[in-house]
Homo-oligomer: A and B are copies of this chain.
Amino acid sequence: MKNVLVSGGWFRKEDLDRLSEVANVIHLHDLEDKQNLDSALPTIDILLTASWPSSLTEQKIAKMENLRMVQCLFAGVDSLPVSIIPSHVLLCSNAGAYSQEVAEHAWALTLAASKCIPLFLTLPRDKPFFMDRMFGIAARMVSLEGRTAGVIGYGGIGSSFASMAKAFGMKVVAFSRRSDPQDKGVEILQGKEGLNRLLRISDVMLLSLPLTKNTRGIIGSAELSMMKEQAILVNVARGDIVERTAMLRHLKTHPNFWYATDVGWHEKGKEMADPDNEFRGLDNYLVTPHVAGVSSQPTGKPSYQAVQNVIRFIQGGTPANVINKSEY
């Protein structure tokens, strides 16, 4: 039987029970409590984790000579120390487990921006609804029917978002590395020219691609300048896909443009929406604190899918979501 080291309390008992039918399930906190981590590490075949365990330093990883797979609970692996994971070890993300909930959140951000919800929340409630007061805001309200949604990164989240966009009567275009989309009625655009076309024609744009060497900062001043004056850019991926200084300048000079994001920029290892307090007072920047996937946890899907991928690997199948580590 393979030895699976489990870190953190995110995995459901019922999933770990299933796992223990095909593997020895070892909890990292047990090893730490008994101070026998060092002797156990060489026997570990698979690591199942959410965020990276602080006790697993580069030195400790070097001792895990049997390690063949690292399975992450999260959809993105950009926060893991990918460079210290040996090249022969499979690293798997949990992409897809959060797609429905993150796409729902992306729609919450899209509609909050298009209907100016944050601006209306600041109005006094004990005064009559005066047309003259609200019409300044209402002029920024956008009807979505017949407009174009551009999905940048057409995986699980992107395709869920696209289905919902069609129900709102929108046309959908997608920027994707794959050229074989499952969904009908979605125009796939590829390459730099494809991305530029998407940026020019879209009224709503969704960032739903991983943060890698290739995608860091791909939305900079050149890309922002191609977008429509009244476009809405929604980010449910990672903040650092967007250049912060370029975005700040764009929001200041384009008052009808919206940046609606669930993710902030990383500064000294911490994620935040406005590290240097420069976006204050901008009423076209809407942010939630990286919570899009939180409501996935109660559904059990993230734990189930991550454990299922480990079981598939143990039983000789091909695991899903294998990461190309050279991109990180």
Contacts and interface: CB of A to CB of B under 8 A. Distances in A.
Interface stretch (A62-70, A106-114, A244-252): A106-114
Contacts of A279: 125
A59 interface: no
Can you tell how many copies of this chain the complex includes?
Answer: 2
A277 interface: yes
A115 B272 contact: no
B107 A141 contact: no
Interface string A24-48: 0000000000000000000000000
B120 A121 contact: no
A163 interface: yes
Given A105-B115, A138-B294, A142-B295, A129 B168 contact: no
B104 A112 contact: no
A129 B238 CA distance: 13
Contacts of A107: 107, 111, 168
A118 interface: yes
A274 B111 contact: no
B264 A129 contact: yes
Interface string A101-144: 10011011101101101101101011111000111011001111
A304 to B, nearest CB: 14
Contacts of A264: 129
A67 B56 CA distance: 84
A122 to B, nearest CB: 10
B123 A289 contact: yes
Contact of A129 (B118, B277, B290, B298): B290
Interface stretch (A173-181, A216-224, A280-288): A280-288
Nearest to A130: B289
A275 interface: yes
A22 to B, nearest CB: 29
Given A164-B168, A296-B143, A104 B115 contact: yes
A145 B111 contact: no
A167 B296 CA distance: 18
B120 A114 contact: no
10 contacts: A101-B143, A104-B115, A108-B114, A109-B117, A120-B291, A126-B272, A133-B289, A138-B295, A141-B291, A163-B167
For the complex of A and B, list the 7 residue pairs with the smallest distance between their C-beta atoms, beginning with the closest: A167-B167, A108-B111, A128-B270, A125-B274, A125-B273, A129-B289, A108-B115
Given A104-B168, A135-B294, A164-B168, 14 more contacts: A104-B111, A105-B115, A107-B168, A108-B111, A108-B114, A108-B115, A112-B117, A115-B295, A118-B121, A120-B288, A128-B270, A128-B271, A129-B290, A143-B296
